[in-house]
A = this chain, B = another copy of it.
Amino acid sequence: MARILDGKATAAEIKAEVAAGIEELEAAGRSVRLDVVLVGDDPASATYVGGKEADASQVGMASRVHRFPAGVTQQRLTDLVDELNHDPAVSGFIVQLPLPEGLDPLPLISRIRPEKDVDGLNPESAGRLSMGLPSLMPCTPHGIIQLLRRHDLPLEGREAVVLGRSNLVGKPMAQLLLRENATVTVCHSRTRGLAEVASRADILIVASGQREMVGAEHVKEGAVVVDVGIHRKQEGGLAGDVRFDEVEPKASAITPVPGGVGPMTRAMLLHNALQAARATLA
């Protein structure tokens, strides 16, 4: 029986800390505001942004959503990024992805000042992370580190295997595990003998984006398994990248889907906004 790593409970802890941090800043006459740029009418994006607004409000953080129709010009968005970069009332902001067809996210993301880049996705933030310099860190991998740390699961000297190499999760995850002194292996679609490689892991992070691809054969007895995937089942409910029922009996600890990594990602966005407001990088 694996220990279930309850992301909801840990996220609640972090949110309480963020709320306290905001009060402290406000007592000193400063405020925290998290802005979101939302373009078009993708229903999933609208839901995520709604969630972010609710999260912010829950911890007493101001937030503002800048809404645009799908037909907005790249230039208008560029101007907005510049405006938000320079507005001292805005602690940090994100551009909700994906953008509608015809708009290029990269120049916008790259233009966000690293001090306000609360998604941690701009190239300078990525470089600072990789070099071990202070930076705002991508929410999902940082949330996973927090989840492991707050469950007293040691990383130093352990074998960590990351399945997936996206810019959003896999690559920054590898950097953060390395910073924690784990021995880190990154696997991907071209990896040969994946089950063998994955089952070396003391800590296995699955971010392949493929529904239920990881089973018992990928997992060492006693491993810690973190499932980043989230997939909507046709029959209703959610599934991860891991076949939970099969892996759970073998693991020593495992994240559920939902209620594992997801809430941590959301909490870390608030954490980043507070960190940005404290201007730790400025």
Contacts and interface: CB of A to CB of B under 8 A. Distances in A.
Interface of A: 106, 122-133, 156-159, 165, 167, 171, 174-175, 178, 181, 183-188, 190-192, 197
A221 to B, nearest CB: 18
Which 7 residue pairs are nearest across A and B when measured between Cβ atoms? A127-B127, A123-B127, A126-B127, A181-B190, A185-B185, A183-B191, A157-B192
Contacts of A131: 123, 126, 167, 171
A133 B127 contact: no
Given A123-B130, A130-B175, A165-B178, 5 more contacts: A130-B130, A157-B191, A171-B175, A174-B174, A178-B186
Contact of A126 (B130, B159, B165, B191): B130
Given A157-B190, A191-B157, A130 B171 contact: yes
A156 B191 CA distance: 8
Nearest to A161: B185
A157 B187 CA distance: 9
Most buried by B among A171, A186, A188: A186
Contacts of A124: 123-124, 127
Contacts of A127: 122-130
A132 B127 CA distance: 12
A181 B188 contact: yes
A184 to B, nearest CB: 5
